[in-house]
Amino acid sequence: MELKNRINLFISGLNILEKIIFLNVAIYLAPFLINTILFLFNIKNIDLIKWFTIDADFSQLIFKPWSIITYGFLHGSFSHIFWNMIILYYFGKILNNLFGDKLLKKLYLSGIVAGGLTYVISYNVFPVFRGVESVMIGASAGVMSVLFYLASYSPQMGIRIFFFDIKIIYIALFLFFYDIIQIPLNNSGGHIAHIGGAIWGYYYCISNNKGEDFTQSIFNIFKTTKKKNTKASQNNNNFDQKKIDSILDKISDSGYDSLTKKEKEYLFKVGKNQDK
């Protein structure tokens, strides 16, 4: 009981970014433990993972509609989850500091959905995939949506990679075009999903700037956001846009860590207001 309380206390102390990473790592490790248990009890021919992967074939997908989200928490190898979580942590941390937990959670999950839909639609539209049986896993679409939201919000933001600075927009565009040229070469479905997540992240940012939030219709069809969004748009007028631009310019020149505590708090308040 004490161990359970400690685990609950540990999880409750995590922010949403840390919870997403923790969940991804836990789900990645779970099949290894399950396979060991099945081996010890000599139980064979059981494939639990297939119930959570997303299928390009509608006749398979219709029997597990939850897979449009669950596929995004599965990974095929250590390198697969390692790089996804590294990128998510780096850019998700900046996004979380700017806008808070709520936006990051909605953006990540809706990015996974957008990537999954792009994958399924593409495999049922383009002739090259006709007759191809395909399944997909991986959080990359959600990660790309986070990256592209941030790149769309502040394209001139500079980040340090090893010993040099690079603008976030260049990283985003490089990964976007890399995915495009990789489609004919390998893992076509995965790269298509990445593109879907990237486009969604860009679209989400543009929509948020206009006071719109279409994720509400995805996650809660019983709530309307028109009145809330209008209020958020009105509240945005209470902030000094010149001050916001000045802070973003400082991030572009010297990185997020160069901001003072007051500047970080100010941006956080702007982000929280925008996320209402």
What CA–CA distance (Å, rounded) separates 184 from 208? 34
Per-residue pLDDT band at 252 (split at 50, 70, 90) = low
Which residues does residue 167 pair with via DSSP β-bridges, in sequence order?
Answer: 158
- How much is the average pLDDT of 198-225? 70
Joined together, the tokens standing for residue 117 give 């839909």
Q: DSSP letter for 258, please.
A: G
Q: What is the pLDDT of residue 11?
A: 78
From 45-49, 131-135, 187-191, the region with the lowest mean pLDDT:
45-49
Distance (Å) of CA 182 to CA 72, 151, 195, 246, 256: 20, 22, 11, 38, 32
Per-residue pLDDT band at 225 (split at 50, 70, 90) = very low
- Residue 238 burial (C-beta neighbours within 10 Å; 0-12, 13-18, 19+): exposed
Amino acid at 122: S
Q: What is the pLDDT of residue 232?
A: 41
Exposed e or buried b per residue across 181-210, where buried means at least 16 C-beta atoms within 10 angstroms of its C-beta: eebeeebbbbbbbbbbbbbbbbbbbeebee
Strands 164-167 and 158-161: antiparallel
Residue identified by tokens 């928490």 is: 73
Distance (Å) of CA 243 to CA 46, 120, 173, 217: 58, 43, 28, 33
Q: What is the pLDDT of residue 261?
A: 75
Distance (Å) of CA 221 to CA 4, 107, 224: 35, 17, 8
Distance (Å) of CA 227 to CA 72, 212, 214, 252: 32, 11, 14, 34
- How much is the average pLDDT of 218-232? 43
Tell me: pLDDT of 121 over 60: yes
2-223 fold: Rhomboid-like fold (1.20.1540)
Question: CA nearest 248: which of 176, 144, 152?
Answer: 152
pLDDT top residue among 102 and 268: 102
Tell me: pLDDT of 3 over 80: no
Tell me: pLDDT of 217 over 90: no
Tell me: pLDDT of 276 over 60: no
What CA–CA distance (Å, rounded) separates 201 from 210? 14
Per-residue pLDDT band at 224 (split at 50, 70, 90) = very low
What CA–CA distance (Å, rounded) separates 46 from 164? 49
Joined together, the tokens standing for residue 201 give 């992240």
From 69-73, 82-86, 136-140, 211-215, the region with the lowest mean pLDDT:
211-215
Domain boundaries, the chain: 2-223
Tell me: pLDDT of 126 over 90: yes
Tell me: pLDDT of 221 over 60: no
Per-residue pLDDT band at 227 (split at 50, 70, 90) = very low
Q: What is the pLDDT of residue 255?
A: 63
Helix axis angle for 101-125 and 16-40, nearest 10°, is 60
From 147-151, 180-184, 225-229, 237-241, the region with the lowest mean pLDDT:
225-229
- How much is the average pLDDT of 260-267? 76
Per-residue pLDDT band at 81 (split at 50, 70, 90) = very high
pLDDT tens-digit readout, 9-26: 777 788 899 999 999 999
Joined together, the tokens standing for residue 118 give 């792009």
Q: Is the pTM of this model over 0.85?
A: no
Distance (Å) of CA 116 to CA 19, 59, 184: 22, 16, 19
% of the chain with per-residue pLDDT over 70: 82
Tell me: pLDDT of 207 over 70: yes
